[in-house]
Amino acid sequence: MENNFLSLIKTRRSVRAYKPQPVPSEALDAVLEAGTYAPTGGGRQSPTIIAITDPKYRQEIARLNAEVMGNNTDPYYGAPVVILVLADGSANTFVEDGSCVLENMMLAAHALGLGTVWVHREREIFDSESGKALLREWKLPETLRGVGAIALGYPAKEAGQPAARKQNYIVRIECPAVRRNVFAPDTLWRGGKVCRPIIKWRSPLLESSSGKCRYRR
């Protein structure tokens, strides 16, 4: 039987059409909390998560994103919630940190029956003067840089099947099995200290006259 977490990962889809119904506050809080437990470089927690449900700001952020693309469509596909992920630009892992946050939230949303899609161009938005004006309005540091966003809501239609995984997705680089270091089940102790590990390609462990472990070469 497939592990539940692997099934969750395999069945998540990018959703590009949403119902207008709002996301319950309990579900939104759970998704946001999942983002706060993402790994970050050095444990510095460089990202900041901004959840937008206010129609005024939802419309404004969509307009700024569409301007970057040069059109007037809704880049968030009508989703009732837009979650922005920004991060401290002085952190050398700010992109990686924010990306982990986004992935955590997408998986949490899927577990709760919600849909998401990762949306780009937040970098351009918040590097611009219009974006910095929003940061000032929200009383956030202007040093924050955009990493990405997710549209969040209830899917308007059934998700499709995933594309087949490419054949060379995984490459394993492994040592020959005979050279792997292993500890013996009956590891020897001398003076409260464990003896050196037995290594499969060496002869059995012997004990010297001093009581210390040694190897026969």
Strand partners, 50: 84
42-45 contacts at long range (C-beta below 8 A, 24 or more positions apart): 42/93, 44/88, 44/91, 44/93, 44/97, 45/97
Q: What is the pLDDT of residues 81-110, one digit of tens each?
A: 999 999 999 999 999 999 999 999 999 999
Measured CA to CA, the distance from residue 210 to residue 190 in angstroms comes to 11
Measured CA to CA, the distance from residue 212 to residue 207 in angstroms comes to 6
4-153: CATH homologous superfamily?
NADH Oxidase (3.40.109.10)
Question: In the structure encoding, which two tokens stand for residue 188, read together?
Answer: 């020897």
Q: pLDDT class for 203, splitting at 50, 70, 90?
A: very low
Whether the pLDDT of residue 73 is over 60: the answer is: yes
Q: Which residue has the tokens 């759970």?
A: 30
Q: What percent of the chain clears pLDDT 70, i.e. is strictly above it?
A: 80
- Which range among 76-80, 126-130, 170-174, 204-208 shows the weakest confidence by mean pLDDT? 204-208
Question: In the structure encoding, which two tokens stand for residue 3, read together?
Answer: 């592990």
**Global model pTM greater than 0.85:** no
Q: In this structure, are residues 68 and 125 in contact, taking their beta carbons and an 8 Å threshold?
A: yes
Q: What is the pLDDT of residues 54-64, one digit of tens each?
A: 999 999 999 99
Q: In this structure, are residues 18 and 154 in contact, taking their beta carbons and an 8 Å threshold?
A: yes
φ, ψ at 9 (rounded to 5°): -65, -45
Domains of the chain: which residue ranges? 4-153, 177-217
Q: What is the pLDDT of residue 146?
A: 98
Q: Which residues of 98-117 are buried (b: 16+ CB within 10 A; e: fewer)?
A: bbbbbbbbbbbbbbeebbbb
Q: What is the pLDDT of residue 217?
A: 46
Whether the pLDDT of residue 190 is over 80: the answer is: no
- Which range among 9-13, 17-21, 133-137, 213-217 shows the weakest confidence by mean pLDDT? 213-217
Q: Residue 93, Cα to own-chain centre: how many angstroms? A: 13
Q: Which residue has the tokens 């219009």?
A: 130
Whether the pLDDT of residue 187 is over 70: the answer is: no
φ, ψ at 117 (rounded to 5°): -150, 140
Measured CA to CA, the distance from residue 63 to residue 214 in angstroms comes to 72
Whether the pLDDT of residue 184 is over 90: the answer is: no
Average pLDDT over residues 128-135: 98
Q: pLDDT class for 201, splitting at 50, 70, 90?
A: very low
Amino acid letter at 184? A
Q: pLDDT class for 116, splitting at 50, 70, 90?
A: very high
